Each structure stands twice: as structure tokens, then as C-alpha cells.
Amino acid sequence: MLVGLIFINPVKRIINFSSDKKEKAAIKIVSFNVKGGIMGKEEIGKYLKSQEADVILLQEGRGGDFPYLEEYKRVNFSGVGTILTQHKVLNTKELDFPEKSEIPPAVQADIEIKGKVYRFIDVYLHPFKFEREMVTLNGNSDANEQKMKDIVKRLIPTFKIHQKQIELIKNAVESSPYPVILAGDFNSVPNSYEYYHLSSGLEDAFLSAGKGSATSFHDYKFPIRIDYIFSSPSVKAVSYVVDRSVSFSDHYPVISEFSSGSK
């Protein structure tokens, strides 16, 4: 029983069966790493249009425009993160380093929806840049050993970059005068340093309202969750879905609905 209690929360971050929510949905969010649209911009645009979301947060959009989304206001600085909405945008900001030595990890927008203002932060943490063959082990022990060494070489510098990026994002969350919805591609698994620090003080929408598997990245043969939606405690997740019906990217779209938040 003790072992079960220790491991139940880590497991629930990947597989969860929450109860149906009684709160009424007021805000619909789509977060999607579109891989630059290289697998079909028209299909992606048509899909996003069909969702009728209040806010769309894209990662790896590379500054591109997608068909069918012309009526959406667009917040984009570096081309990595893009926020789209049909609602009133009050303020925008790129979360950048003073020395501008690395790609900015996030873009934020304060958006008014149905008379209330929310801060949306679209996150794309520095990627580890693993290719499928780099993480696939075979019967050759020497080759596998070299693969593991190469993986470690990539892990350490990327973790250092993530520490700096997390500090920027945490400051944006903690300084917000509005409820926050933080979403995107974190390039980190649910039991990571990145997850624990960025989710601190926020609620994981999958834990609150998700059912089944949270696996969102499907380029490898094993299940992995690296895409997330978090929110301030005052904004309750009503639903959470990883849409595996579409394959326009190496990520699946993540869709969540929220209540409007406490008064």
C-alpha cells in the first residue's frame, strides 16, 4: 500500500481516470506543436478552424500563417511560439534572455474573454534534438553503449538551458495580475525537474479532467508525454483530450476546456 501511494501520482500524470465535471465550460484551449506545418499546412489550418477554440497555442509554427485562420489575431515574436485568438488582446510579450543568446522559450498574451482577463503563456523549452534511431537500442552492446554516452552528452547542456528558461517562465506566472493558463511543448516528461517547477502553484489539466493516456508525442515507439496545459487554481479544467485522430505532426493536439474562474 505504501509503495502504491508513493507511485500513484507519477502514474496519474500519464494515465488518469478523472470523474466528469459539473462546472460549465467557458474557455476552450488548443495547444499543438505543428512541426513547422511540414506535414500539411492546409490540413492543420482546417483542423484548428474546426475546433472553434477561444485560444490556440502553437509551437514550432516557424512564423508561418495557416489557412482558414485569417480572422484570428496573431501573437508571434520569434516564430517558435504563436498565440491565436478571436478575443481582445490587451498586452503581449516575448519571454527572452537579456543577452539573447538562446531561442526565447515562451510568448505571453493577456487576453480578455467574456469580460475576464487571463494570461496565456505558450511554452517551447529547448529541445534535446534526439532522432528516433538515437534512442532505439539493438543487440549490439558496443553501439548501445555509445548511444547512451551520446544521449548523456545532449542531456546535460539542455538541462542547464532549461533551468534558465524555467526561471523566466516562473517569473511571468508569479507576476501575473490575472489567472494564468500555461501550455505548450515542455520537451520534458511528467516526473522531471521541468514539470515539478513549472507546475508549482498551478494545476495540471490532465490530472484534473483527463481520462486515459496523456501520451502526446508519437515519433518514438514508446509512449511519452511532453505536452501540457496548466492553469491557476481559480480556473478549473472541465475537460482534457489528446486528439489522436489526426497525424499532422509528430505531436498530437492537446485540447482542454476551463470554467471561467472564481469571481
Mean pLDDT per 10-residue run, the chain (263 residues)?
46 73 90 92 95 96 85 86 96 85 87 97 85 53 62 78 94 97 95 94 96 87 88 96 94 95 60
Task: For residue 145, tell me if it sits in a domain.
Answer: yes
CA atoms of 191 and 148, how far apart (whole Å): 20
In the chain, beta strands by DSSP E: 15-17, 27-33, 55-59, 73-76, 81-85, 88-95, 106-113, 116-124, 180-185, 203-204, 211-213, 227-231, 237-242, 254-258
Task: For residue 5, tell me if it sits in a domain.
Answer: no
pLDDT of 104: 86
pLDDT of 23: 83
Q: Is 28 helix (H, G, I), strand (E, B) or coil?
A: strand
Instruction: Please answer whether residues 121 and 81 qualify as being in contact, where contact means their C-beta atoms are separated by less than 8 angstroms.
Output: no
Task: For residue 146, tell me if it sits in a domain.
Answer: yes
Strand 27-33 to strand 55-59: parallel, antiparallel, or no bridges (unpaired)? Answer: parallel
Residue 24 is part of which domain span?
16-258
> How distant, in Å, are the alpha carbons of 90, 115, 132, 255 from that of 187?
29, 34, 15, 18
Task: For residue 263, tell me if it sits in a domain.
Answer: no
125: CATH: 3.60.10.10
What is the number of domains present in the chain?
1
Helices (H), 175-227: 193-199, 205-209
